[in-house]
Amino acid sequence: MRIHLLVIAALALGSLAAKPDVLILYTTRTNHTRTVVEQVAGALGESAAVTVHGVHSSVTRPGILGYAKGIFQAFAKEPLVPLQEEPISWDRYDTVIIAGPIHCWNYSPVLRSYLLHHEAKFGGFPRKIKMGMIATQGGSGAGKAFKSASDLLALQPAETLVINESQLKRPAEVQFLSRQFASNLIAASTPAPLEVTHTPLTTLMHENL
Ligand SMILES: Cc1cc2nc3c(=O)[nH]c(=O)nc-3n(C[C@H](O)[C@H](O)[C@H](O)COP(=O)(O)O)c2cc1C
């Protein structure tokens, strides 16, 4: 009888245990990534407190010239897209997911600019963070994008998700893969951080002031 009471108390305490706080940083141009992020956030919401934060450029570049500029930035090693900055309480989060489209075999320039400006936040967490990476693409480049982001942030992703444009026409498949990503990420242990092999851009900028 006493053992039964102890088991019930342990289960009750378990259900009251704090949910992990997850931050999803995403960028999108034609809403493919937003669609996937919504699915992942919905799935994560069952076991985590989720904050979804859109990363946007502060300038819009419409038309063919804007497209050409976007291609130019996509090939730049360190694109510097002006960003709309909104404050984030970084040290609240146990897990951070980055999500964006693939542009020229890398994450889009807006997301890469954001990571370049904020990489110190990823390394500066009071505890090790668990990282998830999501990409939507026509068909190739996500692997290279994950590797570049991983090298930049000196963090290995605990879980990744790639959705091709063709799969977006099959919502049930996207939902299934999003749920799988969410449950794997929550269950995964945090990989050891990688060695930092470069000087953060923010440090370089301050040194040159
Ligand atoms: C400038 C540009 C470059 C792109 N480069 C690639 C690429 O290298 N590989 C690929 O598979 N898809 C590429 N795409 C397609 C996008 O990755 C794909 O449409 C993605 O799902 C768009 O997501 P979004 O709607 O969230 O912006 C490119 C799209 C654009 C606009």
Which pLDDT value is given to residue 128? 75
* Residue 132 pLDDT exceeds 50: yes
Which pLDDT value is given to residue 201? 56
Residue 114 is assigned to a structural domain of this protein: yes
What tokens appear for 149 in the block? 């982001």
Domain that holds residue 161: 19-207
Residue 172 is assigned to a structural domain of this protein: yes
Give the integer Cα–Cα distance in Å for 94 and 56. Answer: 23
How many A from CA of 26 to the centre of ligand 1? 14
* Residue 206 pLDDT exceeds 60: no
**Shortest-distance atom of ligand 1 to CA 102:** 17
Structural domains in the chain (count): 1
Residue 4 is assigned to a structural domain of this protein: no
Q: Which of the listed residues 102, 106, 108 should we mutate to test ligand 1's pocket, taking the one with most ligand atoms within 8 A of CB?
A: 102
Which pLDDT value is given to residue 207? 46
Q: Which residues face 160 on adjacent strands?
A: 133
Residue 10 is assigned to a structural domain of this protein: no
pLDDT tens per residue, range 137-189: 999 999 999 999 998 888 899 999 999 999 999 999 999 999 999 999 999 98
Which pLDDT value is given to residue 138? 98
Q: Which residues face 53 on adjacent strands?
A: 25
Which pLDDT value is given to residue 191? 83
Give the integer Cα–Cα distance in Å for 83 and 75. Answer: 18
What tokens appear for 80 in the block? 């510097």
pLDDT tens per residue, range 42-76: 999 989 999 999 999 877 777 777 777 777 677 77
Picking from 34, 24, 49, 51, the residue whose alpha carbon sits closest to that of residue 174 is 34
CATH number, domain of 186, equals 3.40.50.360
